Amino acid sequence: MEALLDRFLRYVAIDTQSDEESETQPSAAKELDLLRLLRDELLAMGVKAELDEYGYVMGTIPSNIAKDAPAIGFIAHVDTAPDASGKDVKPQIIENYDGSDIELKGVPGLLLKTEDFPEILAHKGETIITTDGTTLLGADDKAGVAEIMDAVQYIMSHPEFKHGEIKIGFTPDEEIGRGVVKFDVKKFGADYAYTMDGGEVGELEFENFNAASAVVKIQGRNVHPGYAKGKMLNSIHIAQEFDALLPASQRPECTEGYEGFFHLIGFKGSVEETTITYIIRDHDRAKFEEKKAVLQDCVDFINRRYVPGTATATVKDQYYNMRAEVEPHYHVVEKAMKAMEMAGVKPKVQPIRGGTDGANLSFKGLPCPNIFAGGLNFHGKMEWVPVESMQKASAVILNIISLYAE
C-alpha cells in the first residue's frame, strides 16, 4: 500500500492552478491531469468511479452492512490558488522537526521563521513538508485529496471494516469560487458530506463568510501632459482615491474572528482606464449587504466628484454562510467532533475565514461541514503541512464512516 506522504508528493507534482480569467469548466485543462489520475486510481482500487464533462470525479463504495445507514460523502478540490505558481513544486521534507527556522532553499536567505509563524512550534518532532520558496506547496487541497484517497485505500484493502455507502468527490476550480457550480448533488448520492479542506489539525467548521467579488472600473481622460491642466483625469489617481474611501480598519490584515473585510486583490491601469478588484466578506448577512452598499456609495461619490460614469462597479455574490443549512442537521458536526476525539485530536469548532465547496453544496441540499486537512499558510511560498496532521485527518475520515455505520 502506498504511504500517505508518497501519495501527497505525487499529487503536488502536478500543476493544477485554476484560471480566474477563463470561462471554461474546468477553468484550466491541466486540472484534468490530476482528475483523470484520481479516477484511474479509484478504479484500480476497485471503486466505481467516473470523470464527467465538467471535471468532477465521483466514486462510490457500496455498503457492506445489512442495516440502513446514510450515504456519507468526502470531497476535496484539486486546483491550487492563482495567487502563486503551482508549477514545478519542489517540496522539502524535514523529519523530526527541531523547532528552528526552516531554510527555503530555492530562494537564498528565505526562511520560514518561527517568530513569524509560531504555530509551527506545536509540531516539533513531526515530519514537516514545506515549499522550497519558489512556489506554493499545494496542501490546499491536495492534502485533503491524499487523505481521502488514503482512507479509500484502507477501506478497499480491509473488507472487515464495516461501513455504509461511501461517496467520493473531487472538484476543480474551488479557488476561484466555481468549484461546485455544476456539481450534481442528486447524482453524487450522499445524504451528508464533509469537505477535507480546513487548516490546522482539529479545525471543524460549519459556518463561513458570505462572499462577493467586485470589479471597479475607473474611466479617466488622457491629455498630453504638457497641456493637461484642467483637462486630464488620471484614472490611476482616482482609483487610489476610491480605495482610500473604503474603511482601512476593514482590511484582512486588521480583522479576525467574525469580522468581515474588503480585500483589494488587483490593481491594473493607465491614465485612461484603471481596473481595481476586490473580494468582500462577512459572516453576518446583514453586514455583508451593508459592505456592498458602502462600495456602491464610494462609486457614487467618485461620480459626483468628477463626471458621471467615471466609476462603475460590477458586484457578484459568490457563496453564502452555510450555517443556516448545516445547523438543522447538527449531528454531522457532532459525529465529526466524536471522530476527532477517537483519533486523539481536540476539536476546534470555529468559523471559516474563507469558503469551501461545502458552502455552496449545503445550499444545494447537501449539508457539508469542513474538516481540517492539516496545512497552514495556504496560497503562498510559506505554505507547510505536517505528515502527522494528514494521517490524523485520514483517521478522522475512517472514524466518521464507522460512527455512521453503528
Q: Which residues are catalytic?
A: 79, 174
Measured distance CA(129)–CA(146) in Å, rounded: 14
DSSP designation for 80:
B
Sole residue written with cell 474603511: 247
Q: What angle do CA 214, 373, 176 make, to 5 degrees?
A: 20
For 226, other C-beta atoms within 10 Å of its C-beta total 6
Q: What angle do CA 36, 40, 44 make, to 5 degrees?
A: 170
Nearest to 55 by CA among 176, 161, 147, 215: 176
Q: Which helix (H) or strand (E) holds 334?
A: helix 331-342
Q: Which three cell numbers stand for residue 333?
A: 458536526
Sole residue written with cell 444545494: 364
Q: Answer for the pair 361, 180: CB distance below 8 angstroms, yes or no.
A: yes
Measured distance CA(236)–CA(48) in Å, rounded: 55
Nearest to 6 by CA among 123, 153, 168, 157: 153
Is residue 169 classed as helix, strand or coil in its secondary structure? strand
Nearest to 47 by CA among 131, 149, 127: 149
DSSP designation for 124:
T
Measured distance CA(20)–CA(297) in Å, rounded: 27
Measured distance CA(119)–CA(202) in Å, rounded: 13
Residues 6+ positions from 253 with CB-CB distance below 8 Å = none
Sole residue written with cell 452598499: 293
What sign has the CA pseudo-torsion 226, 228, 233, 237? positive
Q: Which three cell numbers stand for residue 8?
A: 501527497
Sole residue written with cell 530562494: 107
Residues 6+ positions from 175 with CB-CB distance below 8 Å = 18, 77, 79, 80, 81, 82, 140
